[in-house]
Structure 1
């Protein structure tokens, strides 16, 4: 029996999800796990919606410009094919050069708009990335404050066929973002104090371990004598 591509993919996802559940059941005895829907959080920030709207408007304009260029290129090619039997060899080469030159202009325009470091990349970095960083930093702070071991992103490539809302910290992240700068600074200061406390405890444990090892060594030497 031949299994369809969709069925095969779904089967793999179910297997992966089952494995994830087994691992999570064991891990939750020792680890604290949560997940966040970043798209949900971003959509709840009014200024982010404005930034995304501006980005979409600019993107639509660039696409329209490219569509016009492709339409003009298509017209140039059709006219050339219709007139080619009547043209001299020199005129044929000239028209071919014109078409190639215009194709290069289109490629250049595409790279300018949507290239690796094109206008879309720069505008997204200017308008959208700050909000994404804001959410990311909020998740990092909450994870440290609430002692989370792992926080997953709900809309990522990780298979999440079922989620228990008890582990959803999306609202928590949103409330954190909406706090005043003073409250955020206070929470970050609390994190630093906690980290300093843990560092001190670690140093004390290491020193205690060294003393115990030194005492043990002296005791062993005493017994030998």
Structure 2
């Protein structure tokens, strides 16, 4: 259903673009970055950090395994207090290893942040090239063929048809107050035009949501 909606939306853009001489284009960001030495270098650096952090985690679990085997071998000779102390140390080490693993490989963890850091120069270079080509070729929009779904990499705000869609839905806009009135008469505040991600009229560009891998 979602893919069908995207397809219909693209057809609508193409139909409107033909009527107003709007030019559309697309790029394959994965193919572009795969040919960039800077991208390959960034990938190699990311792999080094991943391998180092993986080894650190393996070392932590190896230490835990050694402590557990030592405890099992000596358990019969230990007092109850000594057992509790040994088990507490093992439990603390396990907790530390899990926490470290989550910090490194968890959601938005250290590896994620390192990828963003190393890929940022590559992404910015590609975006500058897209902006330049879009300006030279007078493109209204540039889509990314490699993206999941439809990602607008560049858009000219004059091709924003948000207001037309709102009218179709029975919503009216007060241009001065930027209030949206529904057919039932309820008022809600519409987003500031300059902050609309579909237009991004401040810079005329919007970054791709999918970073090159």
Structure 2 equivalent of residue 218 of structure 1: none
The answer to which structure has the higher strand fraction is 2
When the two chains are superposed, the root-mean-square deviation of aligned CA atoms in Å is 3.2
User: Is 1:23 aligned to residue 12 of structure 2?
Assistant: yes
Contact map agreement 2:104 2:110 (CA 8 A) in 1: yes
Structure 1 equivalent of residue 55 of structure 2: 64
1:55-204 map, 5 Å: 55-77=46-68, 80=71, 87-107=78-98, 109-110=100-101, 113-114=104-105, 116=108, 118=110, 121-122=113-114, 124-125=116-117, 127-158=118-149
Structure 2 equivalent of residue 164 of structure 1: none
Cα deviation for residue 60 of structure 1 reads 1.8
Cα deviation for residue 28 of structure 1 reads 2.8
Cα pair distance change 1:74/1:152, threshold 3 Å: farther
Q: Which has the higher contact order (CA 8 A, sep 6+)?
A: 1
TM-score using structure 1 length: 0.52
Contact map agreement 2:27 2:144 (CA 8 A) in 1: yes
TM-score using structure 2 length: 0.55
Rg larger in structure: 1
Cα pair distance change 1:152/1:75, threshold 3 Å: farther
The answer for unaligned runs of 5 or more in structure 2 is 152-213
Cα deviation for residue 132 of structure 1 reads 1.2
Moved more, 63-72 or 32-41: 63-72
Cα pair distance change 1:18/1:109, threshold 3 Å: closer
Q: Secondary structure at the match of 2:148?
A: coil
1:20-59 map, 5 Å: 20-29=9-18, 30=20, 31-59=22-50
Contact map agreement 2:64 2:90 (CA 8 A) in 1: yes
Cα deviation for residue 93 of structure 1 reads 1.8
The answer to which structure has the higher helix fraction is 1
Contact map agreement 1:69 1:106 (CA 8 A) in 2: yes
State how far apart, in whole Å, the 2-side matches of 1:159 and 1:81 are.
Answer: 57
Contact map agreement 1:33 1:151 (CA 8 A) in 2: yes
